[in-house]
Structure formats: structure tokens, C-alpha cells
A and B are shown apart, each in its own frame.
Chain A
């Protein structure tokens, strides 16, 4: 199926500090590159470019394809109330790298109320982890409830932090309805293939001719 190129799909990745957003991106990037999908990344940090530097040093992606946004204030402001800075940087990536197929936009680490503006992204994921507490889903934070796809990460840590993963899944399904959720261990990559398949499917990621 071919048609007029509409620009890159823009996919947001949000979630609390330390939940594994950057680790998930580090797992997704080599997988999409292997599939021939042209990818760029925008990271949001409060007052540093820590996550962008981590990705640039990783060797997983051309450093030129990684752009850092320093939000300077509440991270959710830059992805929801006024996403203009991120929209601008996404446009810059598209203009710089012709045929870009996918732009991943990582929010700064935030709380459970964090959500993405659909003026910025076509689709967004919210990443929580078992070490944050297995009561997170039933607290019904907007990120957990409203995200298109929920990732429960660090499942390998569950026995060490006393988290009941089955409970998290049941309660997440109760507050999210039919919307997808996946369990991952982003250190090993376990579960990431399923996340990627869902994103490519739902966000209608297109692959340009090279």
C-alpha cells in the first residue's frame, strides 16, 4: 500500500521517574532500525540533557537523531499544556532527516497525572514499574487510565519488592478497559517485542522507500 508521505508517526512515552522510559527506548530503537524504520528521538529533562546524552552515547542511534528538550519546569507542561517546543523539535527532526518514519518523544520523569497532548503525539505509552508499588494501577492516575498503551516494567523485581504483578494487571485492566497493557523487563528486553508490535499497529507507523 503506498500513498503520499504524511510525515513521521509521533509516539509519546511518559511515566514516573525511574520507571524505565529511557530503557524502553533503548530497547525499541535497535528493533525499529533493524526493520528499516527511520527513527528519531526527543527526550525531555527538567534541567539537564541526561537522557539525551545517555542515548547519544549508547551507540544505538546516530547522535544527530537525538534532540534534548530542557523543560525547566513541570515536565508535563511541555507535553500537554504547551507542547510547542516539542512540536518544533519534531518538525526539526523531520526537516533534517528526510523519510523519517517514527519520532519517539520521551517525557521528563513525572507523576501519575502526566498525560500527552494529542496535538503533539499520535499515540502514547505510559510506563510504570513494579518497584513503584503494586497499588499504582488502582490509584487511577490519568497516565495509567488515559494512555493508549500501559507498560508495567521491571517485572523481574517483583519478588524482591513484594509486588503482586497479577494484581497490578487485574487492577490496570479494571481502570483501562480494553486498552492494551504489557509486562516488560527493559533490562533484558523481555516483553518489548509485543509492545513494539502494538505501537506499529496502532500508530500506523509507515516505512518510507529508501
Chain B
């Protein structure tokens, strides 16, 4: 296990007015925390930070809560932001994370040949995919147009069809 160092540090650039959040106190579902959050919720004193699945991997990031509080999230490497992570909890306020749903591009290839080619294309682009029976889902990171343009040839001759099955 790596050594734990604990000493003071100073954020260097324009961080004087930021609220520093440097630990995950627990999960919103933990019994004790849940009880306190319930009380704060009645007072409108829970603030949420929404992260994308990708940004949740970061350990240092500037964010703004839904109440407009500017925060510096500076976590140790061992920490991991998940949905419902509590970053601040005191008598006056709680700050809790939410993870936004990932946008998936759902595609159905016309036949085995199209499926093979689509799989090659996804792998060649290092796209994150998941398989759901006959549907291949591509995780959209950044503008969706970038994916659609690269798949244009598949759509134009109907080798691949995009579906919206609510997933």
C-alpha cells in the first residue's frame, strides 16, 4: 500500500473562492447519511453536482452545483465518484453527486456481413460498445454527429439501421 501523506497544500490558480471538496464522506443511501440528507432536503439544502460517466473518473475538476456553488473537487487517487457520493455534509448543507445517463447509439446490422464490418469499424475507432442480442450499442462521447458521420456509409445502403428502443 502506498504511503499516506497528510499535509497542507495551496491551490494555485484562481481557486481562492472555490469550495474545496476533497473527500467522499459516504453514500447517500447509507442509513445515517440518508437520515441527515432527508432533514436537509426538507430545508432545500441539498446541492447536486452532475457528472457524465467519463468525467466521474476525474480526481480534480472544477464544477458548479445546481445551486450555483463553484467547487474544486480534489480527491485522492483511491477515491471514486459514483452516483450518490456525498462530498459535503454539515448542518447547513450537503453536496451530492449524480451521474448522468450515458447516451447510447443503438444499431442493428442487416446481416452477418454487416455485423462483422460494423464491429470492425467500432473496434478500429476504439469506441466503447455493448451487445444486446441483435443490437450493438455504441457509447457516445462528445458530439453524436461525429459517430453518425463515420457510419454514414452503413446507413446510406441500409446495411445498418439505427433504432430507438428506449435504452
Binding partners A and B: yes
Write the residues of chain A forming the contact surface with B, with a CB cutoff of 8 angstroms. 1-7, 9-10, 35, 37, 76, 80-81, 91, 94-95, 98-99, 101, 113, 115, 117-119, 122-123, 140, 142, 145-146, 175, 197, 200-209
Complex interface: chain B residues within 8 A of A5 (CB): 5-9
Task: Please determine whether B2 and A95 come into contact, CB atoms closer than 8 angstroms.
Answer: yes
Complex interface: chain B residues within 8 A of A35 (CB): 12
Task: Please determine whether B12 and A37 come into contact, CB atoms closer than 8 angstroms.
Answer: yes
Task: Please determine whether A207 and B146 come into contact, CB atoms closer than 8 angstroms.
Answer: no
Q: Is the interface of B mostly helix, strand, loop or mixed?
A: loop
Task: Please determine whether B9 and A3 come into contact, CB atoms closer than 8 angstroms.
Answer: yes
Task: Please determine whether A2 and B146 come into contact, CB atoms closer than 8 angstroms.
Answer: no
Task: Please determine whether A98 and B8 come into contact, CB atoms closer than 8 angstroms.
Answer: no
Task: Please determine whether A201 and B22 come into contact, CB atoms closer than 8 angstroms.
Answer: no
Closest A-chain residue to B5, C-beta based?
Answer: A5
22 A-B pairs whose Cβ atoms sit less than 8 Å apart in the complex: A1-B16, A1-B18, A3-B20, A3-B22, A3-B74, A4-B7, A5-B8, A6-B60, A6-B75, A6-B76, A7-B76, A10-B59, A118-B58, A142-B125, A142-B146, A145-B142, A175-B143, A175-B146, A200-B12, A204-B15, A204-B60, A207-B12
Task: Please determine whether B10 and A1 come into contact, CB atoms closer than 8 angstroms.
Answer: yes
Q: Mark B44-79, 1 if CB is under 8 A from A, else 0.
A: 000000000011011111100000000010111100
Closest B-chain residue to A203, C-beta based?
Answer: B60
Task: Please determine whether B126 and A204 come into contact, CB atoms closer than 8 angstroms.
Answer: no
Q: Give the size of the chain B interface in residues (CB under 8 angstroms).
A: 38
A-B interface, 7 closest residue pairs, ranked by CB to CB distance from nearest: A118-B57, A2-B8, A200-B13, A122-B60, A201-B13, A206-B9, A204-B60
User: CB < 8 Å: which of B8, B22, B77 contacts A209?
Assistant: B8
